[in-house]
């Protein structure tokens, strides 16, 4: 197990390394210079060259990459003499646009995304998995048919369609909810909750449709397994057959998928954040790409990769805990 983890972590570091190189290369494949985007209309060639020099963009790509890596590991100093600015490790640089340290931007936006995503995850697993399981147990009933119908609609609905409708109803017409946004739960938990309720409900509901369908299918498959029949043949009451024997086997693949979903979503719930105008990681990342804001792009991309990789490892370990047949090695 320990060996396995060490191997996986080394592999993860390698992957992150590769991701950073690819991002860097892609960035420099874009013909427009960030300096041009930054100084806008009143720019002449001289001003652009100056800006490029200030940002270090006139250096060869590999040198820039080397400096970036050095900043990550050991920290880095920008400028010289009086103008020198220290950036301690792990240094991701400064935003080209606002000059704010990228680490600060991430510190500011991560809680936003985490709040949205985890909240929605709770809804989608409780609601989705719950509905799916009950549907499977009551297969063919009115409840099942309704749930299947609703989840079919839900699964084909898009957030950029469903989100604005909810906004219109609850915020602009009924005024029962404040405009979505982010307040730290440590400052004002009530406001944190009410402001995020809409994004949670939207994302959670739409995802729960997918989870309901998945759980229903899993549960139906498990219910037809021989070991469920064995459990009944022992004389176990239905309740125990379902809870102890069927549920545990049916839930395993769902845990896997939920874990991987979580990893992906933590990298930024781009559409949700955009629809509700909340500044999380996803929205920040998209903006940075539009602005050719290299340090911010690097920071957000690496963070997203980090979340995905970590969740992958957690899911694999979890799997081996749930299923004794799985040996990590």
Which positions touch another protein (CB under 8 A)? 1, 3-4, 140, 225-227, 229-237, 245, 248-249, 322-325, 327, 329
Report the first-to-last Cα separation within the chain, whole angstroms.
7
- C-beta closer to another protein: residue 182 or 242: 242
CB of 197 vs another protein, minimal distance in Å:
37
- C-beta closer to another protein: residue 133 or 198: 133
- C-beta closer to another protein: residue 256 or 279: 256
- C-beta closer to another protein: residue 58 or 221: 221
CB of 226 vs another protein, minimal distance in Å:
4
Residues contacting 47, CB < 8 A, separation 6+ = 39
H or E element, residue 145: helix 142-156
- C-beta closer to another protein: residue 61 or 141: 141
CB of 28 vs another protein, minimal distance in Å:
40
CB of 121 vs another protein, minimal distance in Å:
24
Q: Which residues of 205-235 are buried (b: 16+ CB within 10 A; e: fewer)?
A: bbbbbbbbbbbbebbbebbeeeebeebeeee
Q: Where are the beta strands (DSSP E) in 76-202?
A: 76-78, 85-87
- C-beta closer to another protein: residue 6 or 25: 6
- C-beta closer to another protein: residue 38 or 231: 231
Which of 304, 204, 220 lies closest to 258 in space, CA to CA?
A: 204
- Residue 155: is it exposed, middle or buried by C-beta count within 10 angstroms (0-12/13-18/19+)? middle
**Cα distances (Å, whole numbers) of residue 74 to 27, 57, 89, 187, 231:** 23, 21, 5, 34, 59
Q: Where are the beta strands (DSSP E) in the chain?
A: 76-78, 85-87
CB of 233 vs another protein, minimal distance in Å:
5
Residues contacting 267, CB < 8 A, separation 6+ = 281, 282, 300, 303, 304, 305, 307, 308
CB of 217 vs another protein, minimal distance in Å:
18
CB of 278 vs another protein, minimal distance in Å:
40
CB of 6 vs another protein, minimal distance in Å:
11
The rounded distance, in Å, linking the Cα atoms of 320 and 22 is 32
Which of 125, 279, 326 lies closest to 211 in space, CA to CA?
A: 125
Q: Does residue 87 sit in helix, strand or coil? A: strand
- C-beta closer to another protein: residue 75 or 237: 237
76 close to 87: Cβ distance less than 8 angstroms: yes
């Amino acid at each position: 197990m320990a060996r396995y983890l060490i191997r996986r972590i080394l592999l993860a570091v390698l992957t992150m390394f590769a991701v950073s190189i690819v991002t860097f290369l892609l960035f420099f494949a874009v013909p427009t210079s960030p300096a041009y985007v930054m100084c806008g209309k009143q720019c002449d060639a001289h001003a652009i060259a100056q800006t490029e020099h200030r940002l270090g963009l006139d250096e060869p790509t590999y040198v820039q990459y080397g400096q970036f890596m050095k900043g990550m590991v050991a920290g880095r100093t920008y400028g010289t003499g009086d103008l020198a600015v220290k950036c301690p490790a792990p240094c991701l640089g400064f935003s080209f646009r606002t000059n704010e340290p990228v680490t600060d931007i991430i510190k500011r936006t991560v809680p936003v995304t985490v709040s949205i995503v985890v909240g929605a995850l709770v809804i989608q697993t409780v609601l989705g998995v719950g509905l799916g399981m009950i549907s499977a147990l009551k297969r063919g009933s009115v409840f099942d048919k309704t749930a299947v119908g609703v989840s079919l609609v839900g699964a084909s609905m898009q957030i950029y369609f469903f989100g604005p409708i909810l906004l219109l109803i609850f915020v602009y017409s009924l005024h029962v909810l404040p405009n979505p946004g982010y307040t730290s739960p440590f400052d004002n938990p009530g406001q944190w909750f009410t402001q995020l309720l809409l994004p949670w409900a939207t994302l959670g509901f739409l995802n729960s449709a997918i989870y309901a369908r998945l759980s229903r299918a899993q549960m139906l498959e498990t219910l037809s397994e021989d070991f469920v029949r064995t459990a009944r043949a022992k004389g176990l009451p239905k309740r125990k057959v379902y809870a102890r024997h069927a549920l545990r086997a049916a839930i395993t693949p769902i845990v896997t998928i939920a874990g991987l979903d979580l990893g992906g979503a933590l990298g930024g719930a781009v559409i949700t954040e955009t629809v509700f105008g909340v500044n999380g990681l996803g929205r920040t990342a998209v903006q940075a790409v539009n602005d050719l804001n290299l340090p911010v792009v690097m920071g957000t991309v690496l963070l997203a990769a980090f979340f995905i990789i970590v969740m992958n490892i957690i899911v694999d370990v979890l799997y081996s805990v749930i299923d004794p047949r799985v040996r990590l090695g």
